[in-house]
Amino acid sequence: MREDENGDPSGRIEIVEPGPGAVVVELPGEQDLAIAGELEILLESLLSSNRLVVVDLTRSTFIDSSIVRALVRADRLAKAYSTTFRLQFGTAPIVRRALELTGLLDRLETASTREEALREDDRSS
C-alpha cells in the first residue's frame, strides 16, 4: 500500500459512524483516480441512507480532479436526497488550493472541525 510523506496510507477510504443517521468518510493520504469510482459509489449509497454525510479531508495530502468530480456529484445527490453533505478540512495547502480553484469551497458546506461538521442541520426548522 502506498503511503504519503506523513505515513498515511494513500488511496484508502475509512468510514466512521458517530451516531444514527450520520457518517464520516475519511480520505487519508493521496487520493486520486484509483479510488474515485469506489468513492462515488460509496457516497451515493451513504447519501441515500443517512441524514448527514461528511467527507473528511483533514489527513488528505493530495486530491486530483477525479476526487473533485466525486465531491461535486455527491453534492448534487445530497440535494436530490435532501441529505446534508459537508466537507471537513484543515488540510494540506495543495488540497485547499484544489478546492479553491474549482470553486468547491464556495459551493459546498465546509467545516474545520469534526464537531462543526457533525452539527445538526438547521434546514428542518
pLDDT in tens, 59-111: 999 999 999 999 999 999 999 999 999 999 877 899 999 999 999 999 999 99
**Domains (ranges, CATH) in the chain?**
14-117 (3.30.750.24)
- pLDDT over 90 percentage in the chain: 80
Backbone angles phi, psi at 46, to 5 degrees: -65, -40
Q: What is the distance between the alpha carbons of residues 22 and 96, in angstroms, rounded to a whole number?
A: 24
Query: pTM of the predicted model, to two decimals?
Result: 0.88
Q: pLDDT category, 114, cuts 50, 70, 90?
A: very high
**pLDDT surpasses 70 at 122:** no
Which amino acid is present at 90?
G
Taking 60 as the threshold, does the pLDDT of residue 118 lie above it?
Answer: yes
Quick one: pLDDT band at residue 123, thresholds 50, 70, 90?
A: very low
What are the angstrom distances between the C-alpha of 125 and each of 63, 69, 120, 121? 35, 31, 11, 9
